[in-house]
Structure 1
Amino acid sequence: MKNQQHAFDVIVIGAGPSGAVVSSILNQQGLSVLVLEKAHFPRFSIGESLLPQAMTYLEAANLLQPVVEAGFQYKNGAVFRRASRCTQFDFREKFSSGWGTTYQVKRAAFDKVLADAAEQQGVQIKYGYTVTAVNFLAEAVEVCCVDEQGNAYRFYSQFLADASGFGRVLPRLLDLETPSCFPVRQSLFTHIKDNIVDENFDRNKILITIHPKYQDVWYWLIPFSDGTSSIGVVVPPALMDEDEDNTHQLQQFISEATELAELTANAEFINPAQKIVGYSANVSKLWGDRFVLLGNAAEFLDPVFSSGVTIALKSAHLAAGLIAKQVAGETVDWQTRYHQPLMKGIDTFRCFVESWYDGSLQNILFFRQKEQGVERMICSILAGYAWDEANPYVADCSRRLNVLKELCS
């Protein structure tokens, strides 16, 4: 390794949230880390409403203070609306201990804050580098890439972490992709100058609105600190018109949800709407010989509970300590110490997502006679504490939700 021209202890693909966290933690432990990022920051990304659990992992990576100082929109909960009915959760009133507040962020700015802070700590990031091949040699992992001028490079490391998000570099290169268990859904979204004048609207919470006719069609409204908001809708392909302009189609869907349409009646669309199709993803394995998959590079469920960034940061936090041990020559049981713990929380979120789309969780959320203890347990999962097995709705999610489904029906 010492004789290689471009040798590092660890190479990370992707400088997004999970890449910034894992590289920062590894750097703190004295390892040399190279991050290869295809894009240049700032760049647009979705996943803009953080969960309080994510703050724990930012704090562990010494990345929390730059986020606090960046002036992002404070967030303390979530509001769910179905026609005239409304229910809200204050994350400070959850079952699990830990952070009860977080932020709603424009990802272009948020991701750059994290990456810049990681660089200031000593992490080396190369922007505009596309990974083209990965080879597992006897003494090193060889990562081949090209820059934007077409120059080819080879970098070497003892370990490789894929934090490439929806780019899913290693799943594609190593043929690890498998079909998602979720039906194909599409999303239309954009940023608006919201011009909301309703005094009852709480900018400190994400607003989730359900379509008045279709329970599997829902909208998000994520307010930002500068008077703008992210707005989007998730729909099955059968309800989309592929020949229709994205912006017009998004506006049409918004008009069908009366309360949301009235709330955003004065909104100005800042950018044309974008569309993502079939965003749910899965892989055959989360780790292998000298590599690990982090965050969305491994699995993405659904945006309904804003779990994506939290899962990404959890995976980075879990993996960092294990990578350091393996680089130091220790034997690491990745299945029991990474795969199984990570999947516990992912499976909890999956259970909630499945219950959301079959309508049972919606009925639970809007049930009028809530039991406070149960409400606090559900609030914890909505706040991102999907790994807290002291919570019965984590330890035995499916059965518990089925019981609630019967009680609330």
Structure 2
Amino acid sequence: MLSTHVHQNTKSVEEVDVAIIGAGPSGSIAASLLHAQGKRVLVLEKQHFPRFSIGESLLPCCMQVIAEANMLDAVNQAGFQYKNGAAFRCGDQYTTFDFEDKFSQGPGTTFQVERAKFDKLLADEATKQGVEIRYGQSVESVDLTNAPQLTVNREAGESYRVNAKFILDASGFGRVLPRLLELGKPSSLPTRTAVFNHIQDNITCSDFDRNKILISVHPQNQDIWYWLIPFSDGRCSIGVVAEPHLLGDLTANLDDVLLEMVSQEPGLKRLLANAELINECGILKGYSANVTTLANQKFALLGNAGEFLDPVFSSGVTIAMQSASLAAKALVKQLDGESINWQTEYAEPLMKGVDTFRTYVEAWYDCRFQEAIFYQQPDVTIKQMICSILAGYAWDQKNPFVSESKRRLNMVVELCRS
């Protein structure tokens, strides 16, 4: 139970160990891990679940953290689409990566998920474990003068306050603390836009592998790429990503924008000849973000609330879950009275993986990594090492393509060109 104290203004102030903003994957995972260590956790979620979100193709590395939070059985039994790898296509070039044939230790398979169902499943599992999640609660202000205090608005309009020993911001693209505390800074990546929808795919082509995400490159402009993520119910998530000026008139009907872009890629046009749009198209603009501070003694930013790179390698949920695990471990120590250096125990370890992904995202858009991916005679060991990164194991320092990501990638590109 959450204890309540009455201040002079007669408004109740709830006291908790940790207030978590957001009940998405990082929030639910962090709440579960902290609750298991006996910490008083309160999760404040602005929306009601289920709710739509993109980031639907998980990476195998996620499964380790899901297991850590005792949610693996529920995820395995939910009926999500099995995923064992990734496929890439550019014109006549087509290649696949089998995530079980990788360098790093750990799971080699995962799932492709409709995030509305997946996020609700994780949140419900956290609730079953005893975590309190309040939906329809919007954090309007944060005061860090002394112990952290949050002012929270209920949908009905009344507000209340929560005193916490620590705040975890798991608000994703809402980026609550970066906005309230002015922590944002420009990303090093160019501004890009994603236009997306769910489709009844009606795919009849026998050469389409539903167990893999398909990444397709625009035939005339390698800066433009598409995702096609199959679900278990005959539907897919389809999206196109590019700098805004390459997508046409974004003030027009977005369905028309998406369909026109898909028609420009012959492979997708063939696959989706009978597809039907299910929802209104969504758009995500200028999604890449960075912050001046990831954590200190009073708060930590998880997942997209801290830094988001790009959707091309589906790293978002993996980074979110990894951040939840790292932050929970450090926070338990701090709440138990240990002195914690959040830079060395959270920010730096997390950024090792983020910066590994950044190497390959940047090299995807300048086409060096595309050269390596589509090379027709790859070295088996090198491909296994690259496959580990595509499977999410971007923190595995035993992998030379993690520990020396830029140098090793440049070496491979030179080998491909020679």
Alignment TM class, shorter chain as reference: over 0.9
Runs of at least 4 residues off by over 4 Å = none
Partner of 1:219: 226
Alignment partner of 1:370 is 2:378: yes
- Equivalent-residue separation in structure 2 for 1:86 and 1:71 (angstroms): 29
Q: How does 1:176-195 map to 2 (within 5 A)?
A: 176-195=183-202
What letter matches 1:146 in structure 2? N
Q: CA deviation at 1:399?
A: 0.5
Alignment partner of 1:347 is 2:355: yes
Q: CA deviation at 1:275?
A: 1.1
Aligned mate of 2:112, from 104, 117, 121: 104
Deviations 1:54-86 (A, max 9, x none): 000010011111111111000000000001110
Question: Unaligned stretches of 5+ in structure 1?
Answer: none
Deviations 1:336-368 (A, max 9, x none): 111111000000000000000001111111111
Partner of 1:173: 180
Q: CA deviation at 1:3?
A: 6.5
Partner of 1:392: 400
What letter matches 1:154 in structure 2? R
Partner of 1:293: 301
Q: CA deviation at 1:2?
A: 6.5
Alignment partner of 1:119 is 2:127: yes
**Partner SS state of residue 221, structure 2:** coil
Q: How does 1:189-208 map to 2 (within 5 A)?
A: 189-208=196-215
Aligned mate of 2:245, from 234, 238, 242: 238
Q: How does 1:1-400 map to 2 (within 5 A)?
A: 4=5, 5-138=13-146, 140-240=147-247, 241-400=249-408
**Partner SS state of residue 111, structure 1:** helix
Q: CA deviation at 1:137?
A: 4.3
Q: CA deviation at 1:157?
A: 1.1
**Which segment is superposed worse, 231-240 or 72-81?**
231-240
- Equivalent-residue separation in structure 1 for 2:224 and 2:250 (angstroms): 17
Deviations 1:87-124 (A, max 9, x none): 00000000001000000000000000000000010000
Partner of 1:408: 416
What letter matches 1:231 in structure 2? I
What letter matches 1:247 in structure 2? D
- Equivalent-residue separation in structure 2 for 1:403 and 1:244 (angstroms): 44
- Equivalent-residue separation in structure 2 for 1:260 and 1:2 (angstroms): 56
Question: Unaligned stretches of 5+ in structure 2?
Answer: 6-12
- Equivalent-residue separation in structure 2 for 1:85 and 1:3 (angstroms): 63
Deviations 1:206-236 (A, max 9, x none): 0000000000100000000000000000011
- Equivalent-residue separation in structure 2 for 1:137 and 1:219 (angstroms): 46
What letter matches 1:225 in structure 2? S
What letter matches 1:210 in structure 2? V
**Partner SS state of residue 31, structure 2:** helix
Deviations 1:109-161 (A, max 9, x none): 000000000001000001000000111243x3111010111110101111110
**Partner SS state of residue 252, structure 2:** coil
Deviations 1:182-211 (A, max 9, x none): 101111100000000011111000000000
Deviations 1:266-303 (A, max 9, x none): 10111121111100000001012310000000000000
**Partner SS state of residue 303, structure 1:** coil
**Partner SS state of residue 239, structure 2:** strand
Deviations 1:297-351 (A, max 9, x none): 0000000000000000000000001111111121001111111110000000000
Q: CA deviation at 1:243?
A: 3.2
- Equivalent-residue separation in structure 2 for 1:243 and 1:303 (angstroms): 23
**Partner SS state of residue 100, structure 2:** helix
- Equivalent-residue separation in structure 2 for 1:2 and 1:331 (angstroms): 26
- Equivalent-residue separation in structure 2 for 1:188 and 1:132 (angstroms): 29
Go from structure 1 to structure 2 and tell me whether the alpha carbon gap of 1:150 and 1:372 turns closer, same or farther (over 3 Å shift): same
Could you state the TM-score of these two structures normalised by the residue count of structure 1?
0.98
- Equivalent-residue separation in structure 2 for 1:105 and 1:2 (angstroms): 37
Could you state the TM-score of these two structures normalised by the residue count of structure 2?
0.96
**Partner SS state of residue 312, structure 2:** helix
**Partner SS state of residue 393, structure 2:** coil
What letter matches 1:339 in structure 2? A
**Partner SS state of residue 79, structure 2:** coil
